[in-house]
Amino acid sequence: MIVDEAQSLPHELLEEIRLLSNLEVPSGKLLSIVLAGQPELAQRLNEPSLRQLKQRVELRCELKPLNLEETSAYIAARIRHADGEPSTIFTREAVQLIYDASSGIPRTISVLCNNAMTSGFALGQRPIGPQVVSDICKDFDVVPTGPRLMVVRPSADRIEGAAVAPRRVTEQSHSGKDLLKMVVRPFRRLSLFQQS
């Protein structure tokens, strides 16, 4: 059983979920329960009245905000799932602005992308540039935090097709020329969002 937005459940319902977790047979529990929610769920489980429910939690995970590369991969995966071609939908600058405005929160990324694509379609703009995303941010009162300083280190486990070049890159242990080679070469090969 999966319970979403569990932080908003009334105390009585959380207690019923705890009682369901008691159901078992000699071979084990009858029901696996997943409570998913916002960070406030952890605060709720710390309430003295929910102590018994908290004691039954066997595994706890926290999803952190996505970084720029993960944001790019997330957007690309959603576009591909809809049978689209990611490189033709958003420019790099638009993806950067979506990342800055969403702070890497997937739900916010999705809202910004969906509305930007709707506006881009209405305006006949393809690929969608940063101006459309900026307008969407204004409509939703989302304030971009500005370009982020990002350190990029090439690695063998980099997900192919999941990179967007950052605006600023720093690396102290390499010369500027070496750093440029490290960053530009992989991003040319792995770029999802190309400017036309």
Question: In this structure, is residue 184 part of a structural domain?
Answer: yes
Peptide bond into 147 cis (omega under 30): no
**Same domain for 49 and 99:** no
Low-confidence ranges of the chain (pLDDT < 70): 145-196
Q: Helix, strand or coil for residue 17? A: helix
The pLDDT, as a whole number, for residue 28 is 84
Give the chain's end-to-end CA distance (angstroms, integer).
Answer: 46
**Same domain for 44 and 6:** yes
Q: Helix, strand or coil for residue 18? A: helix
Question: In this structure, is residue 100 part of a structural domain?
Answer: yes
**Same domain for 160 and 132:** yes
Number of domains in the chain: 2
171/122 Cα distance (integer angstroms): 42
Which residues pair with residue 146 across a beta bridge?
none
Cβ(34)–Cβ(1) below 8 Å:
yes
**Same domain for 147 and 97:** yes
**Same domain for 121 and 51:** no
List, for residues 109-159, the tens digit of each pLDDT value. 999 999 999 999 999 999 999 999 999 999 888 877 654 433 333 333 333
- 169: Cβ–Cβ under 8 A, 6 or more apart, which residues? 150, 151, 152, 179, 183
**Same domain for 168 and 105:** yes
**Same domain for 178 and 146:** yes
| CATH label of the domain that carries residue 184 | 1.10.8.60
20: its two tokens: 């369901």
Cβ(57)–Cβ(3) below 8 Å:
no
Question: In this structure, is residue 137 part of a structural domain?
Answer: yes
Question: In this structure, is residue 62 part of a structural domain?
Answer: no
Question: In this structure, is residue 120 part of a structural domain?
Answer: yes
**Same domain for 51 and 95:** no
**Same domain for 49 and 80:** no
Chain position carrying tokens 């004691």: 55
Cβ(66)–Cβ(109) below 8 Å:
yes
58/71 Cα distance (integer angstroms): 30
What does the H/E/C string look like for 136-186?
HHHHCCCCCCCCCCECCCCCCCCCCCCECCCCCECCCCCCHHHHHHHHHHH
The pLDDT, as a whole number, for residue 39 is 87
- The single-letter DSSP state of residue 187 is H
Question: In this structure, is residue 63 part of a structural domain?
Answer: no
**Same domain for 186 and 114:** yes
Range of the domain at 13: 2-55
Question: In this structure, is residue 8 part of a structural domain?
Answer: yes
Q: CB 137: neighbour CB atoms within 10 A? A: 21
List, for residues 128-137, the tens digit of each pLDDT value. 999 999 999 9
**Same domain for 143 and 49:** no
Question: In this structure, is residue 195 part of a structural domain?
Answer: no
**Same domain for 48 and 95:** no
